[in-house]
Structure 1
Amino acid sequence: SSGKWQIHIDRLLADKRLVYFYPDIIRTGNIQKPHLDVLLDLIRKDVVSPDRANCLRYGSVTEGIDPQTIADFCLSLAKLGSQASWSALDIIYMYCFGNKGSIEKIREPLKLLVIEVPLHKDQTVTAMDAHHWHDMAEKLLKVHDKEFAIALSNQLISACRLGLNHGDIWHYTKPLLSDLMRDYGDSLWPMFGNAIAQAKGIELYWLQQLLDRENSFSNQMPSVLSMVPVDSVISWCEELPELGPSFVANCVNILETVDGMQQPSKLFVALLVSFGDDKRVASSLSANMGTRGWSGSLVPYLEADKAALGLLLEHESGNVRRWIKNHIDYIDRQIQDESIKDDEQNLGIF
């Protein structure tokens, strides 16, 4: 009975050797607000570590609690430190997963729990943490919410000061940021532009990683900059001629697929038109173009690049024509070298 169950809980709380197991024992019955209050008190007093609250995530042990009560508990838990904030998000995520319709009832607390967790690489505990953050943010963004989008962007910018996990960038943060920039770019791009302008060292590196394209064999993802109006990016570059153009050149999609065909991206062309005479920009674009993953012979990839870039050989801008001609010449040399390697490999020499 619930009475006997509570007696066992009280006995455990009275025993200093057993109180550590308090989160486990309350899982075995009908958890109510007083039980959650006691757990918070134990965590505040360092009797129980914040991560012990994670046992409330699974087994639907919180399903009998009303949405506002569990939200209040998680908000209080999140205030007890970085580790506790992740535990709070995990608990509320699994609660919402098992209680359909609860997101609409506790939308505001959920937003706070999502934006309060630290995203830098020293604080995320598991890949599941980042998944919960990403998935809950996506669910909340089904309702247009510019303020929440701005808060998420500030959260990402803040994380760049200490660094992110590359895996989290590829699978969670960059996909979410792409969606944010697509829907709220007018508000968000100035924020990122200011952050880039003020960043130095490692922070600038991580901001670039966040906005950069992905072109590995297993992960193809366009640059977040492709979601920003071209004129906005070029105007920003003009305001920061020493930093902006080369930064964008490192991140931009040089080629994009339209109706199944590869062609030069509009931002790439605009960047060349305005800044193609800057050696730093030209060099960064060449390095960008050479960053890729592939399988088998490299020659077909190079030939596809050459065909797509060839569309610009007669472009009205001298900057564009010059870079395209130089890079196609470089591709031709690469094709020749790679063809020799392929022949040697086929003969078993290499």
Structure 2
Amino acid sequence: MRPHAEHQYADELAALAAADDRPRPPGWRLSPQAVVTYLLGDGERISPKYVGPRRLVEVAVATLATDRALLLLGVPGTAKTWVSEHLAAAISGDSTLLVQGTAGTPEEAIRYGWNYARLLAEGPTVDALVAGPVMVAMRTGAIARVEELTRVPSDVQDALITILSEKTLPVPELGTEVQATRGFNVIATANDRDRGVNELSSALRRRFNTVVLPVPSSVEEEVGIVTRRVGELGRALELPEVPTAVEEIRRVVTVFRELRGGLTADGRTTLKTPTGSLSTAEAISVITNGMALAGHFGDGVLRAADVAAGIVGAVVKDPVSDAAVWREYLETVVRERDGWRDFYRAARAAL
């Protein structure tokens, strides 16, 4: 349904590589400058994959050209996974060497495992060893990705320390080790709101350079991000053609920004905040769902009623506390706002 970045944007990567005459770090397919251009776009042939401060992207790319790993930190929905995928695609041409962090992630996911049938039949041998994504990245000089690192148990996290500091992965069962090929590095992501779940040890944190991905700085920037991604998703999912409704997108973005910030756009009214993150990614989901409703069950025009159900579902995660926050917001802000009467009625009906 969604090709990996290196396949979806193969033409752009090939064009950048053909025109790239700057020095490339060992094992890299593009120079650092070309990687930044791939991420941010050039206004012509290269589409922007991330909208944000250029310096922040430059710091992330420069980190990967050193011996330090990169930790992308931010609240949910700030494109940490998206950025890590595109960085790996641009640098290594392979974004699939991925460890998905959960509370049940075993140490084998980061180091290596065994084919137990062969292990029982032959004992520990090279053929019985099953290389994990990090080991494969070390052997091939590629970028490995670790998603949601702070959800991984602390003792499993620390399996990365030797890998990142010594650039080796010992295999004591075979009396050998895997040494990293130049070009190898690790990109990890972590959620700001997961602090205290499994915080990184000081020894592991020292191996990372942390880059914090912020929420979009302005309404216009966030509206632009949502509009572009909704268009891309609509084409990828082959949704019925629905004209882009910037006004509805602006309303959803405004609601999300006000509720997550606890303040109306004019700065006059303090608001209670719901328990959910209300990220840009969730705004994209609300609009995409609204387009599906408008295309399949409506008149082909995105209206307030098409986004109301989705936005209520995004805001009201807790049926008690969040519902109270949402009702108060509707009555004190939305009801009194000029031009929002249709949205108010649709949102009330969706409760």
State the TM-score, normalizing by the size of structure 2. 0.27
Per residue, is there more strand in 1 or in 2? Answer: 2
Per residue, is there more helix in 1 or in 2? Answer: 1
Structure showing greater radius of gyration is 1
State the TM-score, normalizing by the size of structure 1. 0.27
